[in-house]
Amino acid sequence: MRDGRDEAYVCCALLHDIGDTLGTFNHPDIAAAVLKPFVSEADHWMVQNHGIFQGHYFFHHLGMDRDMREQFAGHPHYDRTAEFCELYDSPAFDPTAETLPLAEFEPMVRRLFKHPVNSIYKKAAAMAET
């Protein structure tokens, strides 16, 4: 919010780890599936792939390749996703980071989920109108 990001991006930042408790090993896929009908293709790709990009900060501690994200080098959303992890996801693990109360974000989350932009139902309605 303070960085001038649009509401969908802020909601992605809030909800990108929503799948952690249900799918420890594929949580980005869960979050991406939940958000897909409501966000742009760029935001969806960012959420879907943030796990690999976030790995840049800790995979090497697990004996994994911290540069696994390089498989996406040249992708149109590579820089956006790397920046998301650097500026928002990684710092969120700092318990001393300044945060706003969740209540501050509730209205924008409600607005996001009120109007799908990429839904099979929206596509079917558009086809019925033609």
Tokens representing 9?
Answer: 């991006």
* Total of domains in the chain: 1
Give, rounded to a whole angstrom, the gap between the first and last alpha carbons of the chain: 38
Query: Contact 66/47 with Cβ under 8 angstroms?
Result: no
Asked if residue 106 belongs to a domain, the reply is yes
Please, where are the H alpha helices in the chain? Answer: 7-15, 27-35, 41-54, 78-84, 106-114, 120-129
Tokens representing 120?
Answer: 């099979």
In which domain, by residue range, is 111 found? 7-129
pLDDT in the model for residue 2: 75
Tokens representing 13?
Answer: 């930042």
Amino acid letter for position 3:
D
CA 36 distance to own-chain centroid: 10
d(CA 126, CA 116): 13
> What are the pLDDT digits (tens) for 22-80?
888 899 999 999 999 999 999 999 999 999 999 999 999 999 999 999 999 999 999 99
Asked if residue 2 belongs to a domain, the reply is no
